[in-house]
Amino acid sequence: MALPGMEGKRSVRVGKTIILLCIFSVTVETQPLKTNLTIMGFFPNSEASFGGETGSGVPAAVELALQDINDNNNVLADYNLVMLWNGTKCDPAIGTKVFFDAMYQLPPKLMLYGGTCSSVTSLISMSAPYWDLTQLSYDVTSPEFSDREKYPTFFRTVPSDLDFNPARVRLLRHFNWTRVATLYHDETNLAIVHSQLESSLVKAGMNFTAQGFVDAESARRRLKQIKESDARIILGLFNESMARHVFCEAYKLNLYGKRYAWILNGPYSRRWWNTSAECTREQMRKAVEGALVSNFLERSTSNHRTISGKTPAEYERQYHQRVSGKRTNPFHGYAYDGVWVIALALDKVLRQLQQAGNVPRVKLTYERQEDMKVFMFDAVKETDFQGVTGKVRFRDGDRLGTILYEQIQEGSEVRVGEYFAENDSIALHSVQWQGDNPPRDKTLRVEELRRVPLALYVMISVMAMFGIFMAIVFLFFNIKYRNQRFVKMSSPYLNTLIIVGCIFIYLFVCLLGLDGALISETTFEVLCTVRTWMLAVGFTLAFGAMFSKTWRVHVIFTNTKMKKMAIKDVKLFGIVAVLLLMDIVILTTWQAVDPLTRGLQTFPAEPGREVTVVPVLEHCDSNNFTLWLAVIFVYKGLLLIFGCFLAWETRHVNIPALNDSKYIGMSVYNVVIMCVIGAGISFVIKDRQNEAFVLTSLFIILCTTITLCLVFVPKVCEMTLVL
């Protein structure tokens, strides 16, 4: 018998239960059941767990994506996206068996997801086209899978190893580096990446040297070659283990510091340089300081909401809540976005088929599954949405993603920028260099013109101008007293030619010191011609007049018949005119056939750590400069020799009517001696600009001044006594 009151309470509980059952029945009847869409997933482990090194942390991202998609009323609203977990243990045999077993079992698989290990993914990807299946991977980066002929239906949300090359080249362009060295580990995948990198460098118009190595010893030799080539920007393609050997050797060879920039291919583990058998941690820290590392972007830094309605930061918080205390995976964001790629592709295909067949979407899954498989390829190919890893788009199966730049700063990896493959752009910030500026891509070779110091040029020019002033004074004296017997007997008109010739030579000295510091290149070329004419004509007028006067003395002195002989000045002018005509013919021909131009002579470089100075000397030059110079030297040399001979022959002559014959002879000796010594010295020291300019100018000024003084000072003294 029931206790009093118990029966009433039981009745109340039964009534509540009946009401709840009625409510649940109504709810079930009013909520249509969703159809499952099954995708086949390949992971290192068969369950949605976090075990295993390769796939750890990925299932949490996949589950989060499935939950977000199935809770989303805008994507696959009538369906549940289901992942069929398959473990491959990274074994090609197991992976292949799992794939074929699943293909012959229900439910039908509309797409393949995952793969993780390249050896497993390769076999499955080559088989998938025979079932009209598209495969999407979230972490296979091998360049092998970019081959569309071999893997025609393969896509990946993670950038390929090849996609790091445009990021590297863009970084080089950003810093205006055009001369680089590549150092790569010569193994299959890295060799493929390096081959494509070489093509990119050539296309970008960059100069590079490629050094491949197979072990630590060969890496040491390649680093020595890089140092000998004076390469400053080094692109490194090698795994983490080999990176330790490379940077230990780089430290020993001093291939680090503010003069060098290393650009490495990631990803590497955090503080990977702290372990090295041959170098200390401090040595390794110094060697890697400032190195730039290109890496995968785990999540976008943008604050914009993604396709799921979350920001990348919100997604990451939810992901870490799921894997709290367990190992994460750097590719978890790509795994999350990958599931969304599949969901959006399925949604697009279902909508297309519904519009084409006017069939409720829920009935399409199994009735037209073959059509769905075929259309899935195009739908994935046209993917375009904002994911947690950035913009998700594909080009020939490869992700047009974002590459992260990190720099090792004070022993830590610091994010310093991103590369956006979609528009080949770069965004850098917080990049730090050990010097004040980014390293140069080579020792800067600077050509430095050797110029005559302005003070030296002014000093020599003042001396030449003083000579011109003195010549003008003598010219005034010669003209004013030309009818005085003592001056008249010395042929004043020929004396005038001597003075004019000397003025030309003084002006030549003033022009000799002009160079690129004071005049333009075009003016310098004109100046070359002017200087040549001025020196040649000045010498001919001055020495030609003295030569003709000496010749007259010689003719008179050697007159064996002792007849009265008068050689008028007009004949002497004729001699000067003939000599001047020869100058005009030679110089005009030279100018017409082989004109003088501005030439540059380089000298041994003066090496420096950052800048190598190459001294360059401006000079007048032509194609056959030596030949033309030889013609003039032979002609003038013969004239000097003959003049010297005449002066020697008449050294004892003392004819009152020819009162300056003795001084003219001395002037001839002076010119001959000074020309021989001056020309010899100028050729010996022609590479030493300042010394050559000073000595050449001084010899010319001294020779010209002595000549003027020998010819005119005695006349001035005589006239002083007369007056």
Residues 116 and 202 in one domain: no
Q: Which pLDDT band, with edges at 50, 70 and 90, does 597 fall under? A: confident
What is the domain-level CATH number for residue 705?
1.20.1070.10
Is residue 403 in some structural domain?
Answer: no
Summarised one tens digit per residue, pLDDT across range 576-590 is 899 899 989 998 998
Residues 268 and 341 in one domain: no
Residue 546 has a pLDDT of 78
Length of the chain: 723
What's the average model confidence in pLDDT over 397-424? Answer: 91
What's the average model confidence in pLDDT over 670-680? Answer: 69
Alpha carbon 526 to its chain centroid, in Å, reads 37
Tell me how far apart the alpha carbons of residues 141 and 371 are, in angstroms, rounded to a whole number: 30
Q: Which amino acid is at 515?
A: D
Is residue 2 in some structural domain?
Answer: no
Cis peptide before 267 (omega within 30 of 0): yes
Residues 357 and 291 in one domain: no
Q: Which pLDDT band, with edges at 50, 70 and 90, does 9 fall under? A: very low
Residues 453 and 568 in one domain: yes
Tell me if the pTM is above 0.85: no
CA angle at 388 for the pair 386 and 392, rounded to the nearest 5°: 40
**β-sheet bridge partners, residue 87:** 43
Q: Which pLDDT band, with edges at 50, 70 and 90, does 289 fall under? A: very high
Of the given ranges (155-159, 397-401, 504-508, 602-606), which has the lowest mean pLDDT? 602-606
Alpha carbon 402 to its chain centroid, in Å, reads 24
Of the given ranges (36-40, 90-94, 357-361, 504-508), which has the lowest mean pLDDT? 357-361
* pLDDT(562) > 80: no
**β-sheet bridge partners, residue 179:** 207
Residues 520 and 630 in one domain: yes
Question: For residues 541 and 558, which has the higher predicted lDDT (pLDDT)?
Answer: 541
* pLDDT(464) > 80: yes
Counted domains in the chain? 3
Distances (CA, A) of 672 to 446, 636, 645: 42, 10, 11
Summarised one tens digit per residue, pLDDT across range 216-267 is 888 899 999 998 888 899 999 998 889 999 999 999 999 999 889 999 987 8
**8 Å CB contact between 117 and 88:** yes
Q: Which pLDDT band, with edges at 50, 70 and 90, does 631 fall under? A: confident
Residues 438 and 462 in one domain: no
* pLDDT(28) > 90: no
Is residue 285 in some structural domain?
Answer: yes
Residue 483 has a pLDDT of 80
Residues 224 and 280 in one domain: yes
Residues 375 and 415 in one domain: no
Residues 189 and 337 in one domain: no
Which range of 107-121, 300-314, 642-656 scores highest in mean pLDDT? It is 300-314
Sheet holding 207-213, edge to edge: 207-213, 179-185, 233-237, 261-265, 292-296, 402-409, 412-420, 425-428
Residues 385 and 525 in one domain: no
Tell me how far apart the alpha carbons of residues 303 and 85 are, in angstroms, rounded to a whole number: 33
Q: Which pLDDT band, with edges at 50, 70 and 90, does 32 fall under? A: low
Distances (CA, A) of 229 to 116, 211, 443, 488, 611: 41, 11, 10, 76, 15
Residue 398 has a pLDDT of 93
What's the average model confidence in pLDDT over 459-482? Answer: 90
Residues 95 and 215 in one domain: no
What's the average model confidence in pLDDT over 360-372? Answer: 55
* DSSP-H helix ranges across 368-427: 369-381
Is residue 377 in some structural domain?
Answer: yes
Q: Which pLDDT band, with edges at 50, 70 and 90, does 22 fall under? A: very low
Of the given ranges (17-21, 75-79, 92-96, 370-374), which has the lowest mean pLDDT? 17-21
Residue 691 has a pLDDT of 81
* pLDDT(16) > 50: no
Residue 610 has a pLDDT of 67
Alpha carbon 254 to its chain centroid, in Å, reads 22
* pLDDT(690) > 50: yes
Query: For the chain, what is the mean pLDDT?
Result: 82
* pLDDT(292) > 60: yes
Residues 76 and 192 in one domain: no
How large is the C-alpha radius of gyration of the chain? Answer: 47
Q: Domain range for residue 219?
A: 161-296+410-442
* pLDDT(30) > 90: no
**β-sheet bridge partners, residue 611:** 444
Show the tokens assigned to 146: 């970019």
Residue 277 has a pLDDT of 67
